Amino acid sequence: MNDQSDKASADDNASEPDKGSERSRTGRRAGWVRAAASGLVGAGAFVAAAELIALVTGQRSGPVVAVGSFVIDIVPRWAKELAIDVFGSNDKFFLLLTLAVVSGVVAAIAGILELMRPPIGLVIVGVAGVVAIAAAATRAGASALAFAPPAVGAVVGILVLRTLGRRLRRWIAAQAASQRAGTASGAAALAQGVDRRGFLAVAGITAAASVLIGVGSLVGQAAAASIREIRRAVKLPHPRKTVPIPDGAELNVPGITPLFTANSDFYRVDTALTVPSVDPAGWSLMVDGMVDRSIRLSFDDLLEMGLDEYVITMTCVSNQVGGDLVGNARWLGVPVRQILAMASPHTGADMVLSRSVDGFTASTPLASLTDEKLDAILAVGMNGEPLPLEHGFPVRMVVPGLYGYVSATKWLSKLSVTTFAKDAGYWTSRGYSAKAPIKLSSRIDTPRIGKAVAVGPTKIAGVAWAQTVGISRVEVRVDDGPWQNATLSKPVNDDTWVQWMLDWNAREGNHTLVVRATDKNGTVQEKTRRPVAPNGSSGWQQTLVRVG
């Protein structure tokens, strides 16, 4: 068979109902039903094949879950809230049901169009494939092979629909021929019977195989738990030592940044297009380079060293003055110096190059990692739970006082003891300094630019940080007035930001607010504005506020 003859017979069929007989109208309706069914069988084969491949590449790349989570992410907040209001905890089931209904309708339309206007049906399946690939590949936690299940699924779907479409067109053409010939023609009836059986056999076998393979794959996937499920199952031991939070550590000012940044609000910066999946069961940390003994630690080895709590404020070198690439968390971890001590670094080494499973590297001064008074840690927990996947699950580094790109390697796999002369981290060859301590800085959280303030008493407030040194003073200047000392929150430690606030009697009009901090060494925040490259922004934040 070739496409030419197929199209010809389909056109044949299209002109047939002109005769308007009751029989041909029924025949036409039956044709549509069969065409819609062929679309559904094609879609079923698509999903089954994709889920089967997903069994190999990881559950979250299966099209059902991938497209479902994609929809969850892109759906507007009001729709999400409405779904939760109406369906409660069944909102996910409702989502999947909606998805199934929509996909079914699209598949039926594809089947009908493939009968009437081939290859439009195939094009629709192809477009669905592209959408599913986009959804799967952009999921957090997606592996590099995430595109494979929907791609294979789409190819299978297209082949099935193409085969069924051709057979259906032949069947309908044979039906029309046998009608024209009248019941007297045994040969035409015979041909029609052959084509009918051909269509039904392919459709039936494909549908049955799809159900078997699809259900089997879903069962298999459930058994091979995804990295998210693996993370959920991780039970971290309790910290031996927790960090006491002093009274007054948090100021009560509406609009101020909370002392602790929720994991879901914590800034995320990395080069990973898709978040690496690292199973702690297979994870190990290699420590090598200029050491007496290369060592390898498993996740359990690390936990057995004993976990303590640390409160450390992380900052990204890309944070602009007044920016939000800074966050504070309670970390659960082990001091890096304990691990380095086991390997015993050589004298002459001055740097540790930490490496991620994704190839990212950071150059950290060895001295920062061995300093008894500095809590550089390998973290496994963040704000009371295992590290979120996006923040480096299962193990990352956190070093107080150093920008993330030279210290905070996520999805950590290796520590190589070396020298700055010999090695460099990921960003060093890309225009950033090899060493980069965090610059003393302060930020105004409230009032916000563009949000008018009412006349009368209000509060100006924000955060300030000088990790490892601590903040001693924050001053605010309104217009050309004097610098006024802000009230500071009680610091948790010197590695953590503090909140600050100042009472202000706001008068009608536009006002300029400027903030600057001083650290415990007496160093005043640098006034000169500098860009983020090569070693972090500087300057005083200035905002314009409209009152009235």
Ligand X SMILES: Nc1nc2c(c(=O)[nH]1)N[C@H]1C(S)=C(S)[C@@H](COP(=O)(O)O)O[C@H]1N2
Nearer to Mo ion, 157 or 536 (CB): 536
What are the percentages of helix, strand and coil residues in the chain, rounded to 5? 45, 20, 35
Q: Which is nearer to ligand X, 290 or 362 (CB)?
A: 362
Q: How far is the CB of 354 from ligand X (least distance, A)?
A: 9
Using left for φ > 0, alpha for ψ between -120 and 50, and beta otherwise, residue 164 falls in alpha
Out of 181, 209, 269, 305, the residue judged to bind Mo ion by CB under 5 A:
269
5 binds, among ligand X, Mo ion, none (CB under 5 to 8 A by kind): none
How many whole angstroms separate alpha carbon 272 and alpha carbon 389? 12
Which of Mo ion, ligand X, none interacts with 360 (beta carbon under 5 to 8 A by kind)?
ligand X
Shortest distance, position 513 Cβ to ligand X, whole Å = 27
Q: Which does 16 bind (CB under 5 to 8 A by kind): ligand X, Mo ion, none?
A: none
* CB closer to ligand X out of 354 and 458: 354
Q: Which residue's entry shows tokens 């690439």?
A: 325
**CB-nearer residue toward ligand X: 91 or 423:** 423
Smallest separation, CB 59 to Mo ion (Å): 31
CB of 266 to ligand X, least distance (A): 6
Nearer Cβ to ligand X (358/526):
358
User: Which of Mo ion, ligand X, none lies near 408, with the C-beta cut-off 5 to 8 A by kind?
Assistant: ligand X
Binding partner selected for residue 492 from ligand X, Mo ion, none, CB under the kind-specific 5 to 8 Å limit: none
Interface with Mo ion, residue 536, by CB under 5 A: no
Could you tell me if 56 and 64 are in contact, meaning their C-beta atoms sit under 8 angstroms apart? no
The nearer residue to ligand X, 153 or 400, going by C-beta atoms, is: 400
CB of 442 to ligand X, least distance (A): 19
Antiparallel, parallel or unpaired: β 361-365 and 351-356: antiparallel
Q: What's the closest the beta carbon of residue 390 comes to ligand X, in angstroms?
A: 7
The helix/strand/coil state of 269 is coil
Is the Cβ of residue 283 or residue 497 nearer to Mo ion in the bound state? Answer: 497
Contact of residue 337 among Mo ion, ligand X, none (CB under 5-8 Å per partner type): none
Task: Name the helix (H) or strand (E) containing 505.
Answer: strand 498-506
The distance of closest approach from Cβ of residue 317 to Mo ion in the complex, given in angstroms and rounded to an integer, is 5
What are the residues binding ligand X (CB under 6 A)? 266-272, 314, 316, 356, 358, 360, 391, 404-405, 408-411
Considering beta carbons, is residue 290 or 387 the nearer one to ligand X? 387
The smaller minimum CB distance to Mo ion, of residues 15 and 429, is found at 429
The amino acid sitting at 421 is A
Q: CA 99 to CA 317: how far, in whole Å?
A: 42
Interacting residue with Mo ion among 299, 360, 405, 426 (CB under 5 A):
405
Please identify, using beta-carbon distances, which residue of 360 and 540 lies nearer to ligand X: 360
- Contact partner at residue 270 from Mo ion, ligand X, none, CB < 5 to 8 Å by partner kind: ligand X
363 or 518: CB nearest ligand X: 363
316 touches Mo ion by CB under 5 A: yes
387 binds Mo ion (CB under 5 A): no
Q: Are 336 and 410 in contact (CB under 8 A)?
A: no
The strand pairing partners of 412, in sequence order, are: 356
Least Cβ distance, residue 360 to ligand X (angstroms) = 3
Amino acid at 250: E
For residues 312 and 375, is the Cβ–Cβ distance under 8 A? Answer: yes
Q: Give the separation between CA 498 and CA 494, rounded to whole angstroms.
A: 9
CB 153 within 8 A of CB 47: yes
Closest CB to Mo ion: residue number? 316
Q: Which two tokens stand for residue 200?
A: 């039904």
CB 254 within 8 A of CB 501: no
DSSP-derived secondary structure for 290-358? SBSS-EEEEHHHHHHT--EEEEEEEE-TTPPTT---EEEEEEEEEEHHHHHHHH-BPTT--EEEEEETT
Among 149, 404, 437, 447, binds Mo ion (CB under 5 A): 404
Q: Which is nearer to ligand X, 170 or 231 (CB)?
A: 231
- What does 391 bind: ligand X, Mo ion, none (CB cut-off 5 to 8 Å by kind)? ligand X
Using the structure block, give the residue that is written with the tokens 């017979």.
9
Least distance between ligand X and beta carbon 460 (Å): 27
Residues 6+ apart with CB under 8 A from 81: none
Q: State residue 441 phi and psi, 5-degree precision.
A: -155, 165
Number of residues in contact with Mo ion, rule: CB under 5 A? 5
From 2-10, 16-24, 268-276, 372-380, span contacting Mo ion (CB under 5 A): 268-276
Which residue's CB comes closest to ligand X?
Answer: 404
d(C-alpha 363, C-alpha 369), whole Å: 11
How far does CA 164 lie from the centroid of its chain? 38
Q: Measured from the CB of residue 229, what is the shortest distance to ligand X in angstroms?
A: 22
Q: Which does 66 bind (CB under 5 to 8 A by kind): Mo ion, ligand X, none?
A: none
| Sign of the dihedral defined by the CA atoms of residues 341, 347, 351, 357, in that order | negative
Q: How far apart are CA 69 and CA 58, in angstroms?
A: 15
3-class secondary structure, 385: strand
Report the alpha-carbon distance of residue 53 to residue 145 in Å, rounded: 10
d(CA 63, CA 46): 9
159 binds, among Mo ion, ligand X, none (CB under 5 to 8 A by kind): none
Contact range with Mo ion by CB under 5 A, out of 292-300, 399-407, 531-539, 540-548: 399-407
Please report, as ranges, the residues that interact with Mo ion according to CB under 5 A: 269, 316-317, 404-405
